[in-house]
Every structure is written in C-alpha cells, then in structure tokens.
Structure 1
C-alpha cells in the first residue's frame, strides 16, 4: 500500500460499509487515509453518511404503502 492517499485506488465501493462500520480494521484505515486526500471520495462519503442518517430515522410504518 502507498503512503500517499492520492496513490490509493478510489474507495467509493467501500463507503457504504465504512459508514456502517462494517469493514475490517485494515480496510477502515485504508478508507480513512484515502478520504484525507481525495475530495471526490470525501464528497461521496458525506452523501452516503447523510443518507444513512436519514434512513435511521425511518420507522416500519414509513415503509408501508
């Protein structure tokens, strides 16, 4: 793995699991390090985190038609 976050491959596919704290410790560190150096992935992370927070507000009754 590279020490420069800009050299890491983008982490977009891992962001959902990162927000849900479902990655192993190595992957969590990789994503966190990458987010410090990639504005695009950081913007995507914010969107995923906001969506996750909004989903947490839903109740079962909200999902029924």
Structure 2
C-alpha cells in the first residue's frame, strides 16, 4: 500500500481512486482491509463515495456552467 510521506498509514489519499475502481487489485484489497478497521478513513470514504455518485448526475451543460462557459465544450 502506498503510504503518504509523513508516515501516516491512513488511506485517505487513495480513496478517490478506490471509489472509481482505479487501484490495482492488491492495493484495493489493502484499502478495503484498512477501511474495516479505521473509522476516520471509513468516514472519509463515505464522503468521497457520495461525491462520486453526485458527479454522475451532472450534465454537459452543468459542467460548462461550472467552467463559466455558455455552451458545453465541443469535441477537441
């Protein structure tokens, strides 16, 4: 498991990738094991998981508005 430079073994820096299923299987397993025993990381996980679910509800128009654009971005 990737440990932050300050030596803290909490997994908060990995939670975004964990929620998006973007971690290698071994690392995802280590995060899951840590979450079973750490209340503070579990609380952070729930916050990140909620945010990820809400992002799926945004439309292109919502994203364009957030970027200060009148129209959604077109293809590059």
Band the TM-score falls in, shorter-chain normalisation: 0.7 to 0.9
Normalising by structure 1, we get a TM-score of: 0.85
| Structure 1: stretches of 5+ with no match in the other structure | 2-7
Moved over 6 A (4+): none
Partner of 2:48: 48
Who is 1:5 aligned against?
none
Q: Which has the higher contact order (CA 8 A, sep 6+)?
A: 1
RMSD of Structure 2 on Structure 1 (CA):
1.6
**Residue ranges of structure 2 left out of the alignment (5+ in a row):** 2-7, 66-76
Following TM superposition, by how much is the alpha carbon of 1:9 offset from its aligned partner in structure 2, in angstroms?
1.1
C-alpha distance in structure 2 between counterparts of 1:9 and 1:22, whole Å: 19
**What is the TM-score when the length of structure 2 is the normalising length?**
0.73
Match of 1:10 in 2: 10
Count of residues in correspondence between the two structures = 59
Structure in which a larger fraction of residues adopt helix: 1
- Aligned mates of 2:49, 2:34 — CA distance in 1: 16
